[in-house]
Structure 1
């Protein structure tokens, strides 16, 4: 572990030199790349340096105990040794966690796609419930939410809704939401009080910046068409809605949320870039999963990850066996208990794998 930490510190020093080099300063791509790399390892380096300093202080304190000291001084030094030993232990634990490979997407914005699945109107209503839950969670984090496209069904439901959450660390907290979410509740239209089960699927994609994944114009087919609202009635006779098809992968994105074709195309490009980027990441992850299973599920969109039971005010995350009896608070966006448990499980598994290697 200490060899790895030393190599990280050496790399940090080298990055300092590179970021002072005029040729790098004038190369915006390399400057951004090296700045991000340095930022990513800064906490690890600072913790390692603090650890080395604390070890030196502990060594000096222990040497003092070998000297002839009066009773009061000896007691003070013993207390200092005890405190420093505890600090060293804490810093060692922190360093182990910092050495766990970081997901390069963690600091990114998120494009979320929620679709009503099995259950008809009730599934669409549940998709609306999930959208509001994530929006309120985002608000509590100080993040910004922007709807990219939506197909409302009335009564607050959605056949599909695509939205972006902008904020530092958004993907790190929301990436475990991928999969099928199941709801058990009595629909308002159910006179007999019978509980219905419906599902909605959630896709959580990291926003891909242009410099990270470039999509060439020649690989895109662009189509424009007139927007239409719920029920098919025309809401805009101009050709403002757009459809982009990524020819190499066959991925299609249609956006008609804005009245401007230009704005719709910009939004569609963001969604398309994220979906294509995600597709290649999913394929790479699938290869890794053949060797080693993911900590909290495969991230497969069809995998049932969570059940929301309204009659019992209960939420169960099936991947980690977590059950919380406060669904009423969770659907209001108070997701911290669930997300923190998923992050902790993921870190624990990664630590296990790191110690095995």
Structure 2
């Protein structure tokens, strides 16, 4: 109807109108053209191919990077941020494996997030996160820069990723807590190595060997699926490059600047204030902007 209205008003304008009616017709034409542009964009967005992983649960892996103990504390901050965000969405979180740094931080923490749309919202978080602040361990007040890496893996089920038991090397050992002390007398920790690829999965957070093995297998399936999908993307398309950034774990995606109370996402040039609010799990404004940019780039890719 809008397109037909536009044609009718343009025809009226061309046939000759008085000055007042002509001005009104031009205003109406401008309004209708704006509506048509919006409707066309919405239609194109609806026709964009969906990411097959968007409705999946995920496994997140956070690892301390450069910066020693401060990097471990930053990794713990990111873990808290994502678990708070998950809670706000009503999603479940479950720690699979963790390696504490001893002062309240993590050298590494791996955890599952289960809930509708988890991957679609958190897939933009993969990459290198950088923090600038005065560490609690710094006596002279100097600002330090530290990093942590975040990986976001879509969870795979047993049907999708078939694993030959003969391809697995499974080791059981005593789990260790902070400082290296033995937590259990029974060897409950599990290390699974996928021999054809060399991919390793470890779980030691549960008291039960069986539960640790189940969790380790879940992580292994996710890593194998992720590895296979990356190969397919490299061979078939440049999809990740047409999205927001490449998703590469070596890519610096965001800086958290405490002295200036500022968070900057380098992929889309977005700067937000109120860092404590973001670190408390209020990520929707940031994620919405990333999703909008992703859609725009994908539209441009289709039209190119």
The TM-score normalised by the length of structure 2 is 0.86
Deviation at residue 288 of structure 1 after TM alignment: 4.8
Pick the structure with more helix per residue: 1
Q: Deviations over 1:180-213 (max 9, x none)?
A: 1111000112111100111100000000111222
Does residue 164 (structure 1) correspond to residue 121 (structure 2)? The answer is: no
Q: 1:292 to 1:131 in 2, by over 3 A?
A: closer
Q: 1:254 to 1:187 in 2, by over 3 A?
A: same
Match of 1:206 in 2: 154
Q: 1:289 to 1:199 in 2, by over 3 A?
A: farther
SS in 2 for 1:293: helix
Match of 1:257 in 2: 205
Where in structure 2 are the equivalents of 1:126-141 lying within 5 Å? Answer: 126-141=74-89
Does residue 283 (structure 1) correspond to residue 224 (structure 2)? The answer is: no
Q: How many Å separate the matches in 2 of 1:299 and 1:152?
A: 26
Does residue 320 (structure 1) correspond to residue 260 (structure 2)? The answer is: no
Which deviates more from structure 2 when the two are superposed, residues 330-339 or residues 206-215? 206-215
Deviation at residue 272 of structure 1 after TM alignment: 0.4
The equivalent position to 2:214 in structure 1, one of 250, 266, 284, is: 266
Q: How many Å separate the matches in 2 of 1:200 and 1:90?
A: 39
Q: How many Å separate the matches in 2 of 1:126 and 1:135?
A: 14
Q: Deviations over 1:15-61 (max 9, x none)?
A: xxxxxxxxxxxxxxxxxxxxxxxxxxxxxxxxxxxxxxx789x79xx
SS in 1 for 2:241: coil
Residue 255 of structure 2 contacts residue 263 of structure 2 at CA under 8 Å; is this kept in 1?
A: yes
Q: How many residues align?
A: 283
Match of 1:194 in 2: 142
Does residue 150 (structure 1) correspond to residue 98 (structure 2)? The answer is: yes
Match of 2:195 in 1: 247
Which deviates more from structure 2 when the two are superposed, residues 109-118 or residues 89-98? 89-98
What's the Cα RMSD here?
A: 2.4
RCO higher in structure (CA 8 A, sep ≥6)? 2
Match of 2:247 in 1: 299
Uncovered stretches (5+) of structure 2, i.e. residues with no partner: 9-27
Deviation at residue 245 of structure 1 after TM alignment: 0.5
Q: Deviations over 1:44-95 (max 9, x none)?
A: xxxxxxxxxx789x79xx8xxxxxxxxxxxxxxxxxx999998776544322
Q: How many Å separate the matches in 2 of 1:153 and 1:334?
A: 26
Q: How many Å separate the matches in 2 of 1:144 and 1:337?
A: 22
Q: How many Å separate the matches in 2 of 1:256 and 1:292?
A: 33
SS in 2 for 1:244: strand
Match of 2:16 in 1: none
Q: Deviations over 1:131-165 (max 9, x none)?
A: 00001111111111111111112332101000011
Deviation at residue 320 of structure 1 after TM alignment: 1.1
Q: How many Å separate the matches in 2 of 1:111 and 1:339?
A: 18
Q: 1:292 to 1:277 in 2, by over 3 A?
A: closer
